[in-house]
Structure 1
Amino acid sequence: MTIGHVNGQLYYFEPTSVDAFPGISTGAVLRCVYKNRRWIVSRTDNMPNWYVAADGMKAQKLSSTVDEALKYVGPFNAPQQWKRAKEDRYDPYTPAVR
């Protein structure tokens, strides 16, 4: 799979070739681990309600990404997840710091 940029925070995944990706049968599960870099620095920077669309197909939401709870996003509990570069001094606020 490759990833392409549409606009703003809108991206798409695309098979590298039809031969490499024959499709997903009804009821089958395709596991895709997506690791974003640089500009997502908190769990809430991830957008919910991802969907799949193709020519001749009605768009379908990915059930694992539905709702605002962001259950599909892992915890942000390590500095390498929120620091974009070695010069970045940002650290998430704790209740005590706020």
Structure 2
Amino acid sequence: MWILIIYFITRDDTPLSKKQVQDRIKEYGKKAGIKNVRCSPHTFRHTFAKLCVLNGANAFQLQAILGHTSLEMTKVYVNLFSNEIQQGHAKFSPINSLFK
């Protein structure tokens, strides 16, 4: 399995620290006028996971994409979007075809 590591660098080719990345994302969120949502790398990760689920990724695919070693950690992300999952289930449930 491949693991992608991304480094953000400054103009002097020095790597940004985690804190610097967090501070910049927070600053860009303020500049963009984003309110009532925490702007952070973790929020980006959750948003990415949510969009994967909404676009049909299953828990096993999401586990691989996020690099989780256990399905338990992935379940935390999936459970956060349980309302959307229930709506998707209602849309594709085989029970619906029984009563047509």
Normalised by the length of structure 2, the TM-score is 0.31
Query: Which structure carries more helix by proportion?
Result: 2
User: Greater Rg, structure 1 or structure 2?
Assistant: 2
Query: Which structure carries more strand by proportion?
Result: 1
Normalised by the length of structure 1, the TM-score is 0.31
